[in-house]
């Protein structure tokens, strides 16, 4: 089978966003399928390859591994400034609103770039099915467009929380724009429940694997590390977690130097606001961007 996989993150990106589709693409290739993984180019840099070069590479490719087609976004000054957080409050919200209303996503500069590869994919790869993951809705938009143009089914995968990434009030509208998918897959049972609620459809749960790699966590006997990783999503639930940790520390009268409360994720505002109650009771550490190997070492060393 020939399958087109779509994910925003390039497989070389040292981040969890790349792992699911990269791993499944290789797993399918190992089973003898021909897989083309379409992503955004690393750091949005323009590729020096042209259509003729790519078509030649496709014909000569060793399909024991996926073919990675990385596409640079079309330049858009407003989108670029939006990503760089250079738009003032009000204008920023307006640009996001218009992107979703007119383009169903905020990575429309990348999806526009991808649309230009329709003929190349149709003529030189000729996929039989498309599988696109929601990290962002533009992955689905590309899949939907390619599906229509090539007359093949597309399958929507959900690896991230739809309600956390789609603006409030627009969830149902955006979901309805993608109701032509042939099937849905989901990262977990909770994602499956979300699919039933938002899309009124059933989803097949396909769990992501975890590499069977022995990780040295450098476990410290003297410091008990509590590690929080990833998006926090819900302020109230995180408050409950932190309150429970605070009660636990107080009850056992730990020395503040014995406990390390550590966060690796992007919800810094929520973390900072809630974790203030722990100050004076433990060390609070916020990590900047971590590559996956370092993140695993910290997690493996957690108490």
**Complete DSSP assignment for 65-132:** SPEEEEEPPPP-HHHHHHHTT-SPTTHHHHHHHHHHHHHSSS-HHHHHHHHTTHHHIIIII--SEEEE
The H or E element that residue 6 is part of is strand 2-6
Residue 289 banded pLDDT, cuts 50, 70, 90: confident
pLDDT value at 212 more than 80: no
- As a whole number of angstroms, the distance between CA 23 and CA 180 comes to 26
Q: How far apart are CA 162 and CA 267, in angstroms?
A: 16
Largest interatomic CA distance in the chain: 69
Give the model confidence (pLDDT) of 35-57 as tens digits: 999 999 987 666 656 788 999 99
In the predicted structure, residue 238 carries a pLDDT above the cut 80: yes
Q: What is the mean pLDDT of the chain?
A: 91
CA atoms of 54 and 45, how far apart (whole Å): 17
Query: What per-residue confidence (pLDDT) applies to 80?
Result: 83
Residue 215 has pLDDT above 80, yes or no: no
Q: What is the residue whose two structure tokens read 């509590």? A: 226
- Across the range 262-266, mean pLDDT stands at 92
- The model's pTM is 0.82
CA distance 127 to 144: 14
DSSP letters of 170-233? -HHHHHHTTTT-SEEEESSHHHHHHHHHHHS---EE---------------SSSEEEEEES---
The confidence score (pLDDT) of residue 10 equals 94
Separation between Cα atoms, residue 175 and residue 141, nearest integer Å:
11
């Amino acid at each position: 089978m020939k399958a087109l996989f779509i994910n925003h993150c390039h497989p070389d990106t040292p981040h969890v966003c790349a792992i699911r589709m990269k791993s499944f693409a290789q797993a399918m290739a190992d089973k003898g399928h021909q897989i083309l993984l379409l992503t955004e180019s690393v750091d949005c840099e323009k590729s020096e390859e042209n259509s003729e070069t790519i078509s030649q590479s496709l014909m000569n490719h060793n399909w024991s591994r996926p073919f990675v087609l990385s596409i640079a976004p079309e330049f858009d000054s407003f989108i670029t400034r939006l990503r760089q957080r250079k738009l003032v409050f009000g204008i920023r919200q307006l640009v996001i609103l218009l992107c979703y209303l007119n383009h169903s996503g905020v990575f429309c500069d990348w999806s526009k770039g991808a649309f230009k590869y329709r003929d190349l994919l149709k003529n030189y790869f000729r996929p039989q099915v498309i599988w696109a993951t929601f990290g962002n809705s533009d992955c689905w938009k590309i899949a939907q467009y390619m599906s229509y143009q090539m007359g093949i089914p597309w399958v929507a995968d959900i690896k991230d929380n739809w309600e956390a990434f789609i603006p409030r009030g627009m969830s149902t509208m955006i979901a309805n724009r993608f109701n032509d998918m042939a099937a849905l897959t989901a990262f977990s049972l909770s994602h499956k429940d979300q699919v039933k609620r938002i899309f009124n459809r059933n989803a097949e749960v396909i769990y992501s694997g975890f590499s069977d790699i022995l990780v040295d966590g450098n476990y410290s006997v003297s410091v008990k590390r509590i590690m929080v990783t990833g998006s926090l999503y819900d302020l109230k639930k995180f408050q409950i977690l932190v309150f429970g940790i605070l009660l636990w520390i107080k009850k056992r009268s730990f020395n503040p130097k014995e406990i390390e409360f550590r966060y690796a994720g992007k919800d810094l505002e929520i973390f900072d606001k809630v974790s203030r109650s722990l100050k004076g009771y433990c060390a609070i550490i916020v990590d900047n961007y971590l590559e996956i190997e370092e993140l695993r070492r910290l997690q493996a060393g957690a108490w």
